[in-house]
Structure 1
């Protein structure tokens, strides 16, 4: 465990060394004082006044106080520096974890590792580590001088200290286990609180405040129980040390006084030995406290070290996509017999193959669980396929630099996450250096001009936590504008019309048609108005591509698509007549479909 602390504090080793050195200097000044008192007593006994020894004693006493004040500052500053360094490393690591780890650990638990756990770690570094080192060295110095003064008397003291040490060791083992349980419960409490606050409107609407509070309270009680167990065992540690020191001091006075009375020892030796006993309480108490602090912080230390040991998302170091030779006739994106599963024995995709041209719109359709969102995750390289290949400009994605590849992709997620900050912050999130003209362009394309004009501070208006100041449709349009601002070569849209009204949907369709002339679009769609305008439609079912082609081709070749199209139109209260006749006869009639959503 000490090794873990030293690894975390490695960047501050010189500050720690300075703190330890200053502490040892203070210990040396303290160890010299009993010897000076002994000399003063001996000189007075001989009828002389030891002015030099008295002046040295006063100087050493004042110097020790000054050094201890400096030590406190140096160690506190070092502890804060260590915690800052750990938090910086944790922030970088937690934002770069492989995607499976985000599914394995809850968000609130990860946040707790950077918050509460690093706070507990501060005490381990600033108090536990330095006190352990200086306590051992100070104790060794005091013991050596006590043995030199009176070995027999020291042996009696050592027996009492050994008994106290055995009692302390038993308590510390229990403290470490209780500490880990308390920190884990605190992490679960934070996770459940984050869960409830993240969906506070749903919680209120479902009248679930008491149930959520009960979940959080249960973890709070578990953390409380762990803390009480730590306190119960820790209550044995300090008294054991105090009793050992007090008992030893009484033993020294009784036995030492008897030996002085018998003429076997001098008063000066007894006073010096007694002063070392008083001095011994410092390093011995520091050592006991250090071990207790380290054991109490063991749970936090374990969780922080575990998080720092997690592998980050690998940086492939492959060529930049812009430097890859391109073939004008080659597909921008191609899936070749791709198999993938979040669990090894449960594949989500089974031999998926299709192409995305450099321009135009490709629609992905299929029932829930067919693997559509998983395809997006693979394109973004959140995961790599188990088998098969994904090619970008004819180059396997595993050979292309991951970050540079993502720079050419725009992703609009279905839940449209909005960051806390201003509308401008959210729009420029993927392109912070975007020009004002480009920003105005995407605002118009996404239909956000009215929103910007309506907000009191325009683009600099805050959007609230998770975009609570915006409607669902506004959040979706912000997400679309954010993706467009980076001018991606490939734009991935996950159900882009889900939260839009008919007018906004029609405007977005016009935007998509315009963008399809500039870049490749892949759209996960469940609305007929979105699907039928795609240049190419890929039908997924059970993780397989069951059909691929244009709207007209699929009506002829795919029973699944034909049934799906009929279901779409049959569910439209504005449609009349035979659905398939409406679909296929539109061009011949020269009219337009009257589809429910936006047409």
Structure 2
């Protein structure tokens, strides 16, 4: 992936808050759009040049009227200059706005691509709502900077310089007095800029926190309401709103102080020119036309100077937003390109293992891993998953079962040990090749907003109707298809809210089966099923095991007792392996786990009839 404007500008933002560095960073953001920026600048300057010519024409009109000369040619020229200035200004502004939208589009593409490929550890460290706000709110603020501030700064400075040159030509003394007034205002404005940027950074951070907290509350809204926590959540988010409000008010206060400073420069210089210039006309040091022209240039100086001050303030505010975008772009991500030595494909099609496999579908050899290096979760796990067999993982909560799934999916890399697919080390394979071999049904089943067909074909968008019918039958989704208005085209709602927990689980299972994986990972596949559906799913799992390797995390005895192999984990270690009957006699831990479940044959199953919201995976063990 080629570097976009955000990548090219990344080193410059740092922590330096100086206006020079901020302007340089903003300029680097225009990489790839320099032609549009140049065209907009030329058009704006052309319009400003036409505007600078107008006072000279006005001077000629005033002087000509005193000599009783014909005025209409000069009046027509002045009207033509007005129209030319308006036309070039409008075209230049459109080019600028389009350029700004293009730059922000590139930033957003880069941010979205980056956020979707972040290392899984980064999602544990950062709140998703805050990351999303960097794509939305921060990028929107930055658009104003790149579409307005930079060109306004350049053209404003050049136009001001042109006006000053012409004012110097007309009356150097009056120009000196105006310059002193403007300098006093500039000192005041410069002292306000640092505070404006700091307040803007706090405001943008608070806006991101609002989005994160609101997403947290809305994502668990049924729980919030059942526990009558609406007011507590509103108060939590309200604190963020108050922080954003305070920062916004401070930004507005500092920005409002800039207005009187600019007005001081404008009105003070105008009054000085009017009084001193009038006295000089009375003393015959200048003509009335000179005074009119100088006054017009003094008034024309107001707009470019105001645009310069406003542009600098906007750039400082935008740098707060850009710093947050830069931080997101700098977060470590999974490689978009695999190393050249990585194996990209297996010698046979996934899901169709050779008749005589010498190597297991999956092997773990002395795997060690911890989300926190000081707190290991896996302390040396070793076992194999043969082709066309069902392997079950059992153990107490926190034994490391879900962590093993995360390592098999290569969401994380083990701290030590070896993970092998068909005898090939995972480190020698591309992540794409590894993930192309597996499919997973998470305990927290993920159903995206869209139709039932969209969800089923998410991993296999080219699936045929026959393939869809096959997995619908295997996962026993016929009733769901009949019930939904529109059948396969029926909308499932946000996070599958129109489905029960058991139905969401079966949708996830059908989606996984549609890819015909070589290894199917099932995390608590029967946790949301009633007895009838659990028996049916057990039969489905037997059928699936004839096609691929099954690795199942299970706590129910009925799920594991028919497995070809059971691996018992305890404290991040493999403590026993074997079939159900053998482990009942050889493993005290397995015997206790089985006895605990056999004491509760009904197992207090969760009803599969009432829709309930899916839980959020905390990423733990």
Q: Normalised by the shorter chain, which TM-score bucket?
A: over 0.9
Q: Map of 1:252-291 to 2, 5 A cutoff?
A: 252-291=273-312
Aligned match for 1:110, one of 131, 135, 138: 131
Q: Map of 1:56-75 to 2, 5 A cutoff?
A: 56-75=77-96
Q: Map of 1:115-154 to 2, 5 A cutoff?
A: 115-154=136-175
Give secondary structure in 2 for the equivalent of 1:350.
strand
C-alpha spacing 1:113/1:507, structure 2 compared with 1 (3 Å):
same
Question: How many positions carry a matched residue from both structures?
Answer: 578
Residue 236 (structure 1) shift: 0.6
Match of 2:477 in 1: 448
Match of 2:611 in 1: none
The whole-number CA distance in structure 1 between the counterparts of 2:499 and 2:529 is 13
Q: Does 1:319 align with 2:343?
A: yes
Aligned match for 1:499, one of 515, 518, 528: 528
CA-based RMSD of the aligned residues comes to 2.2
Q: Is the 8 A contact 2:530 2:606 kept in 1?
A: no
Residue 533 (structure 1) shift: 1.2
Match of 1:586 in 2: none
Aligned match for 2:440, one of 406, 411, 422: 411
The whole-number CA distance in structure 2 between the counterparts of 1:312 and 1:284 is 44
C-alpha spacing 1:557/1:294, structure 2 compared with 1 (3 Å):
same
Aligned match for 1:387, one of 396, 413, 416: 416
Highest relative contact order (Cα 8 Å, sep 6+), 1 or 2? 2
The whole-number CA distance in structure 2 between the counterparts of 1:157 and 1:509 is 88
The whole-number CA distance in structure 2 between the counterparts of 1:268 and 1:421 is 72
Give secondary structure in 1 for the equivalent of 2:364.
strand
The whole-number CA distance in structure 2 between the counterparts of 1:402 and 1:573 is 41
Q: Is the 8 A contact 2:344 2:429 kept in 1?
A: yes
Q: Map of 1:19-38 to 2, 5 A cutoff?
A: 19-38=40-59
Give secondary structure in 1 for the equivalent of 2:521.
strand
Match of 1:581 in 2: none
Match of 2:322 in 1: 301
The whole-number CA distance in structure 2 between the counterparts of 1:557 and 1:427 is 42
Match of 2:390 in 1: 361
Residue 43 (structure 1) shift: 4.3
Residue 353 (structure 1) shift: 1.4
The whole-number CA distance in structure 1 between the counterparts of 2:305 and 2:348 is 67
Bigger Cα displacement from structure 2, 298-307 vs 369-378: 298-307
Residue 171 (structure 1) shift: 1.7
Q: Does 1:515 align with 2:536?
A: no
* TM-score, normalised with respect to structure 1: 0.92
Q: Is the 8 A contact 1:573 1:596 kept in 2?
A: no
C-alpha spacing 1:308/1:539, structure 2 compared with 1 (3 Å):
same
Match of 1:589 in 2: none
The whole-number CA distance in structure 1 between the counterparts of 2:291 and 2:583 is 103
The whole-number CA distance in structure 2 between the counterparts of 1:44 and 1:61 is 21
* TM-score, normalised with respect to structure 2: 0.89
Match of 2:612 in 1: none
Give secondary structure in 2 for the equivalent of 1:354.
strand
Q: Deviations over 1:430-477 (max 9, x none)?
A: 111101011000001011111111222111111111111000100000
Residue 11 (structure 1) shift: 3.0
Q: Deviations over 1:460-507 (max 9, x none)?
A: 111111111000100000010011111111100011000000000001
The whole-number CA distance in structure 2 between the counterparts of 1:307 and 1:293 is 22
Aligned match for 1:292, one of 309, 313, 336: 313
Give secondary structure in 2 for the equivalent of 1:322.
coil
Bigger Cα displacement from structure 2, 527-536 vs 66-75: 66-75
The whole-number CA distance in structure 2 between the counterparts of 1:163 and 1:470 is 68
Match of 1:169 in 2: 190
Q: Is the 8 A contact 1:316 1:398 kept in 2?
A: no
The whole-number CA distance in structure 1 between the counterparts of 2:606 and 2:267 is 88
Structure 2 stretches lacking a partner, 5+ long: 1-21, 608-621
Q: Is the 8 A contact 1:8 1:86 kept in 2?
A: no
Match of 2:23 in 1: 2
The whole-number CA distance in structure 1 between the counterparts of 2:43 and 2:347 is 57
Residue 44 (structure 1) shift: 4.5
